[in-house]
Amino acid sequence: MEGKKNLCAMIPAELHARIMAEKEEWELNTLAEYVERIFAEHFEGGNSMKAERTLAVQIPAELFERLKEYLVAHNLKQKQFLIQLIESALEDTKKE
């Protein structure tokens, strides 16, 4: 295993919130995994996520809590749930 070094930096709270949201969307377990991925993509050139786009929305806190409960109860990840929901809606519009 290659050696690891700690990296710490103060960043604006708004940027931190965006980073944490994207980390969750990418279904990464730790911030370290997110930072390593971002830096690797930067230094290796290119972006392995080019075929994907980020979708971010703000929803009421109560709705967010209900969503989290649903995801746990159905053993789903947020990304998986949203993709299924969008694909289902798009399929429904084809049938109309």
Q: Would you kindly state where each structural domain of the chain is located, as residue ranges?
A: 10-51, 57-96
What pLDDT does residue 37 have? 87
pLDDT for res 72: 93
Amino acid at 37: R
- Main-chain dihedrals φ then ψ at residue 93, nearest 5 degrees: -70, -25
* Cα separation, 58 vs 51, whole angstroms: 24
Side chain identity at 24, as an amino acid letter? E
> Over the stretch 38-64, which tens digit does the pLDDT of each residue have?
888 888 765 555 567 778 889 999 999
Q: How far apart are CA 95 and CA 58, in angstroms?
A: 30
The answer to whether 30 and 37 have CB atoms below 8 angstroms apart is no
